[in-house]
Amino acid sequence: MKKTTETNPAIGLEALAPRERQVVECVYKLSEATAAQIQESIGPELSNSAVRAMLTRLESKGVLCHRVDGQRYLYSAVVPQQQVRESALKKLVGTFFNNSTASAATALLGMSDKLSSKELDAIEAMIAKARKEGR
């Protein structure tokens, strides 16, 4: 069961077309998926041949890779979803908040109508951890 991938470096999801991003998000959701599973998840508006063409394109862009399992190809993401999220957030904070995570956090908190006690506790715990680590 050999995993294959092209030599192109992985690119950020923001650089992908909306349908390509939808396919990649589906792969993240399923962890590993066949073209048929992806088509089923996305719905009938995307043909099987269109999904397969997109998977090939996403492999050539370095976003997905596949392994052969019998007669099927199982696709997975090259870069872990957490790493993609962190990269996207860093770009967002840099672009819109002048690299100020405090400004970004303030804006996000301002957008939230009401946070649960559990969410507030989690935020307070992250702040306490950052203080303890000297960040």
CB 61 within 8 Å of CB 72: no
Residue extent(s) of CATH 1.10.10.10 domains in the chain: 3-80
Would you state the pLDDT for residue 4?
Answer: 42
Would you state the pLDDT for residue 9?
Answer: 45
Fold assignment, 3-80: Arc Repressor Mutant, subunit A (1.10.10)
Is the alpha carbon torsion for 21, 26, 32, 38 positive or negative? negative
Q: 101 φ, ψ to 5°?
A: -65, -30
User: Which regions in the chain score pLDDT beneath 50?
Assistant: 1-9
Would you state the pLDDT for residue 6?
Answer: 40
CA distance 133 to 123: 15
Would you state the pLDDT for residue 91?
Answer: 86
Would you state the pLDDT for residue 11?
Answer: 61
